[in-house]
Amino acid sequence: MLEELIIAGFGGQGVMSMGQLITYAGMIENKNVAWIPSYGPEMRGGTANCAVTISDREISSPVVTEPTSVIIMNQPSLTRFLPTLKPGGLLLINSSLVSADISRNDLRVLEIPSNELANEKLNNTRVANIIILGAYIESTKVVTIDSIVESLKKVLPERRHNLIPLNRQALELGAEFARLAKV
């Protein structure tokens, strides 16, 4: 198994946190992992992306140029990373913020209104990224939701551990969305 993922959006959307969570979850599950962050000139509001590689074998290069999956949180990231996605790859889009007119028919596409779901179902838009993460986990099975929840203890500062139950709800909501979409 080799999963190469790009997560991209604006700074402040939780792009780096998602990458860290997947990476830690892979380590918990004794998989080989790599995480490479990339920031634009500004932190919050600027562009941000990260590359995550998870494998059951050694990783020869942590650089991801042709991802097997891409998570898109904003419009500029769709333009930038859609052409790099391998044929047959998985494209997850935050349809709350991204208007997707995908001309490629060689992809599995899951459009998730994560901001609306976070607001309407969980009353907290800060977990929109975690909803998409749950959909990704359900769609790829690259790690388990339980490992992601365990990873939250490492990624979130201790003073924020009270948010772990909310994050679990967001992961499960995203996983349910993916199951119903059957991508």
112-149 confidence digits (pLDDT tens): 999 999 999 999 999 999 999 999 999 999 999 999 99
pLDDT tens figures, 15-47: 999 999 999 999 999 999 999 998 766 555 567
Assign 3 a pLDDT band (cuts: 50, 70, 90): very high
Domain ranges of the chain: 2-181
Between CA 77 and CA 117 the distance in angstroms is 21
Gyration radius from the chain CA atoms: 15
CATH of domain 2-181: 3.40.920.10
Assign 102 a pLDDT band (cuts: 50, 70, 90): confident
pLDDT mean across residues, the chain: 92
What pTM does this model have? Answer: 0.93
Give 22's contacts (C-beta < 8 A, 6+ positions apart).
Answer: 5, 33, 35, 52, 54, 133, 142, 143, 148, 151
Give me the residue label for tokens 């599950």.
29
| C-alpha distance from residue 41 to each of 13, 47, 48 (Å) | 16, 8, 9
Is the Cβ–Cβ distance between 163 and 174 less than 8 Å? no
